């Protein structure tokens, strides 16, 4: 499969690295020579300097042989035009990053198959995390009936110190640990895996057991009544609007007086403060307590991290920080930052789902591991049909965490038999994804 990506910014670079690592034929078009050169040094892909909406540049990128064009530059108009030009040159599918609502309404006939807005996706993720304070990851599958919940374990967590097989046999509810991220390494969990303090654990269970799962991992949950949002960015405003709709009070803090003034004029239900969000005195004056969340959403990673750590030190129930550099996320254990969000990962989830297509219904990526959670439908032609999980020759880099079967959901055991048209929720390392697709797609 050949994929042409327009734009080597945060989203484009991340996708290029991820897709090329899977052996796909990736070509990236970037107008900035420095960005293009930097990307060429780090990914196994062809990087072309040029205008992604230009027929000549697209011709050079081999667009006529491409299966997909992904336009994720910082210009909405350029992304839409790139899709239109690529479609006239014969590309089969297109994806465009477009944030402007007015432009979206005028896309008819421009050849854009899928529109993504990383900010809107990240805002929804933040609101979901604040609804379950202390949880580091929350991904829904099977129309929300199955959840993959993540958390950082503590010394007294019930899940710490015993093999998972022994723990599972002694609990009265069903769950599967899909993976453990420890010191930057991803471990696909097995029965003999032993969880340690400060591990990042990803656990699958049915939705009604979410709170039970959080407690099991040692995550203390407290209902959030007020969100103190640091930064007056677009993502901050999108998040604030959704939180207000959920009945959460919102305070926004930013050091830029003009942005604060503009924000206050548009939102009479938001308390807007023009102040230094990293100054502990600012949060102290707001009376931060265990009913509050501190959410760092500026464009600066260090400001987001510091604000969240100050908020937690002052007693906030939970903290969520936006990060542009994904490499920071693996260092968060024990810092006081409960969860991290990334607009680029939110966009990647949507785009990877479109790339995979076929029998794959959803894809989720994570901040500190390159593994994916995939919802895949079992073909009637699959060799796995009628066989128990324990008898499957499943790649060691993958694990089945849940099954959606004819409207019901279940957490599988070794004796669970696979049936045609089952939707399996799998956690898989990049090296296992192809094998998983081949086994279940038939």
Give the mean model confidence (pLDDT) for residues 395-405.
95
122 occurs within a structural domain: no
Pick from 181, 217, 194, 199: nearest CA to 429: 181
What's the pLDDT at 292? 96
pLDDT mean across residues, the chain: 90
Tokens at 80, concatenated? 């839409």
Q: How far apart are CA 54 and CA 59, in angstroms?
A: 8
Do 337 and 368 have their domain in common?
A: no
Do 355 and 335 have their domain in common?
A: no
What's the pLDDT at 359? 65
The percentage of the chain sitting over the pLDDT mark of 70, rounded to a whole number, equals 96
- Report the relative pairing of strands 114-116 and 93-97 from DSSP bridges: parallel
Give the mean model confidence (pLDDT) for residues 360-377.
82
Residue 178 has pLDDT above 90, yes or no: yes
CATH number assigned to the domain comprising residue 357: 3.30.70.1450
Going across the sheet that includes 249-254, the strands are: 271-274, 249-254, 226-230, 292-296, 318-322, 339-341
Phi/psi of residue 238, nearest 5 degrees:
-60, -45
Q: How far apart are CA 61 and CA 5, in angstroms?
A: 10
Do 240 and 313 have their domain in common?
A: yes
What's the pLDDT at 331? 57
Q: How far apart are CA 313 and CA 111, in angstroms?
A: 50
Give the mean model confidence (pLDDT) for residues 93-107.
87
Question: pTM here?
Answer: 0.79
pLDDT bracket for residue 156 (50, 70, 90): confident
Per-residue pLDDT tens for 330-343?
A: 555 556 688 888 87
Domain that holds residue 412: 346-441
Do 108 and 26 have their domain in common?
A: yes
Do 301 and 262 have their domain in common?
A: yes
CATH number assigned to the domain comprising residue 311: 3.40.50.720
Q: How many domains does the chain have?
A: 4
Q: How far apart are CA 51 and CA 267, in angstroms?
A: 38
Do 248 and 300 have their domain in common?
A: yes
Phi/psi of residue 396, nearest 5 degrees:
-65, -15
Do 383 and 288 have their domain in common?
A: no
Per-residue pLDDT tens for 260-319?
A: 999 999 999 999 999 999 899 999 999 999 999 999 999 999 999 999 999 999 999 999
What's the pLDDT at 358? 57
In angstroms, what CA-CA distances link 155 with 26, 192, 195, 196, 437? Answer: 44, 19, 10, 8, 38
What's the pLDDT at 121? 87
């Amino acid at each position: 499969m050949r994929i042409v990506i327009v734009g080597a910014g945060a989203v484009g670079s991340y996708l290029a690295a991820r897709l090329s690592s899977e052996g796909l034929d990736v070509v990236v078009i970037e107008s900035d020579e420095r960005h293009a050169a930097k990307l060429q040094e780090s990914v196994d892909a062809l990087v072309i300097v040029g205008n992604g909406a230009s027929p000549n540049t697209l011709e050079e990128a081999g667009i006529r042989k491409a299966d997909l064009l992904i336009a994720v530059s910082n210009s909405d108009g350029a992304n839409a035009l790139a899709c239109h030009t690529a479609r006239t040159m014969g590309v089969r599918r297109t994806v465009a990053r477009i944030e402007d609502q007015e432009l979206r309404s005028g896309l008819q006939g421009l050849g854009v198959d899928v529109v993504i807005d990383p900010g809107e996706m990240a805002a929804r993720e933040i609101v979901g995390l604040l609804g379950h304070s202390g949880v580091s990851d929350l991904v829904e599958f099977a129309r929300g009936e199955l959840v993959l919940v993540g958390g950082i374990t503590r010394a007294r967590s019930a899940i710490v110190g015993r093999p998972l097989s022994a723990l599972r046999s002694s609990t009265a509810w069903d769950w599967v640990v899909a993976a453990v991220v420890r010191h930057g390494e991803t471990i696909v969990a097995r029965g003999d895996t032993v969880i340690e303090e400060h591990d990042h654990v990803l656990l699958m269970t049915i939705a009604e057991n979410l709170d039970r799962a959080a407690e099991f991992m040692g995550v203390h949950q407290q209902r959030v009544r007020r969100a103190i949002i640091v930064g007056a960015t677009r993502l901050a405003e999108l998040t604030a609007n959704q939180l207000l709709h959920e009945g959460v009070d919102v305070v926004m803090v930013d050091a830029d007086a003009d942005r604060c003034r503009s924000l206050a004029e548009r939102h009479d239900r938001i308390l807007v403060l023009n102040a230094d969000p990293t100054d502990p005195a600012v949060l102290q004056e707001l009376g931060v307590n265990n009913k509050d969340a501190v959410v760092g959403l500026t464009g600066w990673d260090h400001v987001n991290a510091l604000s969240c750590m100050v908020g937690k030190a002052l007693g906030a129930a939970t903290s969520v920080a936006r990060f542009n550099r994904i490499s920071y996320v693996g260092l968060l254990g024990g810092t006081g930052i409960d969860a991290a969000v990334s607009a680029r990962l939110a966009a990647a989830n949507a785009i990877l789902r479109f790339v995979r297509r076929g029998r794959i219904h959803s894809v989720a990526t994570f901040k500190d591991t390159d593994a994916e959670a995939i919802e895949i439908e079992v073909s009637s032609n699959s060799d796995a049909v009628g066989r128990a999980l324990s008898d499957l020759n499943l790649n060691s880099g993958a694990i089945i965490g849940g099954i959606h079967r004819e409207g019901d959901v279940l957490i599988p055991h070794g004796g669970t038999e696979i049936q045609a048209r089952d939707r399996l929720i799998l956690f898989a390392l990049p090296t296992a994804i192809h094998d998983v697709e081949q086994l279940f797609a038939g």
